[in-house]
Amino acid sequence: MTEFEERLDAQLAGGKKPARGPGGKFSSTSPAAGPEIDITVIGQVVQIPFDLWSVSQGVPELKISNDESIMLAKPVKQLLDHYVPQIPEIAWAWISLSAVSYSIMKSRLALIAEIRKNKPSSERRMDAARVANANSSTKTQGHGGSHPSNVFPSLDQIQKPAV
């Protein structure tokens, strides 16, 4: 081997001389694999969007069961093993952030759902009417406005215009 090859190998190895096996070939030692992700952990992560959806809509049936989450987790694990065989440390930080965000959001969404549930329906209708009135008062009718007209002519009016 030439001196150039040795220096190039040293640079590629980060300043360390790479290990070579018999015949001058590099040894095939692979870096240690990271911890294996358990299928149940993946299943719990898969449940997160369904739990949030359930709370936000006030429909408990939108949650998925543990069996359903495991059914989804199996192909997710296969995809992770294929595309990300070794999970980088920064990915664990993102996973932790999403888990904490989930627990914080879930409690807030449950609080909002409880407030809405306890709010009398007449108040909800009054709030909806206020929003509708505010929206209609800001719209201009007829041509030339920035919004479409609220009043559409009938077919008879189009065919026989008023004189």
Domain count, the chain: 1
pLDDT tens digits for range 66-85 = 999 999 999 999 998 898 88
User: What is the mean pLDDT of the segment spanning 43-71?
Assistant: 90
* Residue 162 included in any domain: no
3 domain-assigned = no
From residue 146, give the alpha-carbon distance in Å to each of 136, 139, 143, 149.
Answer: 13, 8, 9, 9
pLDDT band with cut points at 50, 70 and 90 for residue 62: very high
Note the pLDDT of residue 42.
86
Does residue 81 fall inside a structural domain?
A: yes
Q: Report CA dihedral (4, 8, 11, 17) to the nearest 10 degrees.
A: -80
What tens digit of pLDDT does each residue of 116-138 get?
Answer: 888 876 666 666 677 666 665 55
Is 130 domain-assigned? no
Does 10 reside within a domain?
no
Residue 77 lies in a domain: yes
Q: What does the block give as tokens for 77?
A: 């694990």
Question: Is 154 part of a structural domain of the chain?
Answer: no
pLDDT digits (tens, 9 = 90+) for 144-155: 555 555 566 666
Concatenated DSSP letters for 23-67? Answer: GGPBP-PPPPP-PPPPHHHHHHHHHHHHHHHHHHHT-GGGSPPHH
Residue 88 forms part of a structural domain? yes
Predicted confidence band of residue 107 (pLDDT cuts 50, 70, 90): confident
State the pTM of this model: 0.46
Residue span of the structural domain in which 44 resides: 39-117
